[in-house]
């Protein structure tokens, strides 16, 4: 496939205390670009795939920083809108607790219908369960994109309890997931939404999805493709900060599948990119080496040779 992967969602600025500090004690904060769909677009571009991002930023220095980061990563940013009144959303990573989001009334939450030109040369769309939780406008946008038939769609569940309760999110995310071609979910979030206990349970909830990927932290990731099941164990990594790892996994998996690689290779590619992000403070990090990609593609020496 040679067309763009279009990632649609809210771009964010991430503020992170230096290693070993919590927010109460930090005198400085590291500034980075984040947001689930931004992370996937950057990961795809790092792997050489044509990636496009559509979203909404504020007319502020943080918005300009996001544009600069995406441009540097060679992501197509022609369809990023600037809101003259609403601010760019941001969040703070707190090593002593959960992330703290400041996105109410953000520019990203006001994202509405995309112009038809944004879909030109696109053959795959990547969405997450964060966007429909942000606002009515965002939920309507996601619904309208799922109604289109000219490209395949991947959907990362990305359940965020801070945005909406499980009782509200569960039926909406289930309906969207059932309409996607590729679905990513963590077993923990699937358990919170649909009271499942293992990957096979998730498959029972989503039996018709063509490719269903279930991640389980340091345990195997599983992909169901029609009647097939493939499990791949991730390499052991030292975790510095986990935010963004799931997005990196999605980027690695999608890149491998778009290049025609098999299910096991795609899982290994996802694990590889996720492991790199786990070892850094930012939501994305440097791309894998050619040697690492070869190991992921072939499986020779996986995971001990990494």
Q: Which residues are catalytic?
A: 247
Helix (H) / strand (E) element for 197: namely: none
Taken in order 164, 165, 171, 175, is the CA torsion positive or negative?
A: positive
Strand order in the sheet with 12-16: 30-34, 12-16, 89-92, 100-102
Contact 175, 168 (CB under 8 A): no
Measured between alpha carbons, how far is residue 301 from residues 15, 164, 193, 234 in Å? 37, 42, 36, 13
What are the counts of helices (DSSP H) followed by strands (DSSP E) for the chain?
A: 10, 13
Cα separation, 154 vs 252, in Å, equals: 13
Point out which residues pair with 184 in neighbouring strands. Answer: 156, 213
């Amino acid at each position: 496939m040679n067309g763009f992967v279009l990632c649609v969602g809210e771009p964010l600025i991430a503020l992170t205390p230096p290693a070993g500090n919590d927010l109460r004690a930090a005198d400085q904060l590291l500034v980075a670009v984040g947001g689930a769909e931004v992370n996937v677009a950057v990961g795809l571009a790092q792997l050489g795939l044509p990636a496009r991002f559509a979203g909404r930023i504020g007319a502020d220095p943080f918005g300009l920083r996001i544009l600069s980061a995406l441009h540097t990563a060679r992501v197509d940013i022609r369809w990023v809108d600037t809101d003259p009144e609403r601010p760019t959303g941001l969040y703070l990573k707190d090593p002593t607790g959960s992330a703290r989001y400041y996105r109410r009334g953000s520019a990203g939450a006001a994202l509405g219908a995309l112009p038809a030109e944004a879909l030109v040369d696109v053959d795959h769309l990547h969405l997450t369960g964060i966007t429909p939780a942000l606002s009515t406008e965002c939920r309507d946008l996601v619904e309208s994109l799922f109604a289109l038939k000219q490209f395949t769609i991947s959907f990362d569940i990305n359940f965020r309890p801070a945005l909406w309760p499980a009782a509200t999110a569960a039926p909406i995310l289930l309906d969207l997931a059932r309409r996607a071609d590729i679905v990513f979910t963590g077993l923990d979030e699937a358990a919170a939404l649909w009271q499942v206990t293992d990957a096979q349970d998730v498959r029972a909830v989503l039996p018709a999805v063509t490719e269903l990927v279930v991640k389980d932290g340091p345990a195997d990731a599983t992909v169901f493709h029609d009647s097939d099941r493939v499990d791949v164990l991730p390499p052991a990594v030292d975790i510095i900060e986990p935010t963004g790892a799931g997005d990196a996994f999605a980027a690695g998996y999608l890149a491998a599948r778009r290049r025609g690689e098999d299910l096991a290779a795609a899982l290994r590619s996802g694990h590889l990119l996720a492991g790199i992000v786990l070892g850094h403070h930012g939501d994305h990090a440097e791309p894998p080496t050619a040697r690492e990609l070869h190991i992921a593609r072939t499986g020779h020496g996986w995971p001990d040779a990494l």
